Amino acid sequence: MNPSTFMWTTIENFTTQKILFDLMLRNIRAINKAEWLLCNSIYDLEDEAFALVPKLFPVGSLSGLDKQGNLEVNFWPGDTSCLKWLDQQLPCSVIYMAFGSFTILNHTQFQELAIALELSNRPCLWVVRLDIMEGKDNAYLDGFHNRVVDRGRMVDWAPQQVVLGHPSIACFMSRCA
């Protein structure tokens, strides 16, 4: 994560920046006073993290879906065409990589991830936001796309809950935040 993308620095109005920063500080202080912190996770998935923060209590995994199966909050519309592509893949065969809405990668990080996916020789679905890379140099992206066109798919944003529930997904790579 790049400090220039911290929530309070992405707002141009200084007064609003200060309000947001102060709110974050108040939250941190409240966390320090709390007896327990509840989080949407499961112990078996992150046992080492829970060992480091003893007052963190997992109560999940909780879904963000409403009763009709729709995700109630999303930053961008998901590209549902990736679901048809997933339907054409073998069960438990696809690497799904998505780093959320705040992660910014430098060129080297981006290139290393692309090389790793390419060398895996596995079908892959990669969420590549338009602003995921510093400097907006997506020259490598075009070459990557050409090399994995038969087994790879890139989208700006994916309907993540549906993708994660798809039978073709074997591996999920995330920023784990």
Q: Which residue is listed with tokens 């038969």? A: 150
Residues with Cβ within 8 Å of 135's Cβ and at least 6 positions away in sequence, in order, are: 106, 107
Q: What is the pLDDT of residue 45?
A: 82
pLDDT at 58 over 70: yes
Locate CATH 3.40.50.2000 in the chain: 81-173
| Number of C-beta neighbours around residue 24 at 10 A | 13
List, for residues 129-153, the tens digit of each pLDDT value. Answer: 877 776 655 555 667 777 777 788 8
The Cα 123–Cα 74 span in angstroms is: 25
* pTM recorded for the entire structure: 0.62
Q: What is the CATH number of domain 81-173?
A: 3.40.50.2000
Whole-angstrom distance, CA of residue 165 vs CA of residue 167: 6
Residue pLDDT, tens place only, 86-114: 999 999 999 999 988 777 788 888 888 88
Query: What backbone phi and psi angles, to 5 degrees, belong to 143?
Result: -65, -40
- The per-residue b/e assignment along 90-122, b for 16 or more CB within 10 angstroms, e otherwise, is eeebbbbbbbeebbbbeeeebbebbeebbeeeb
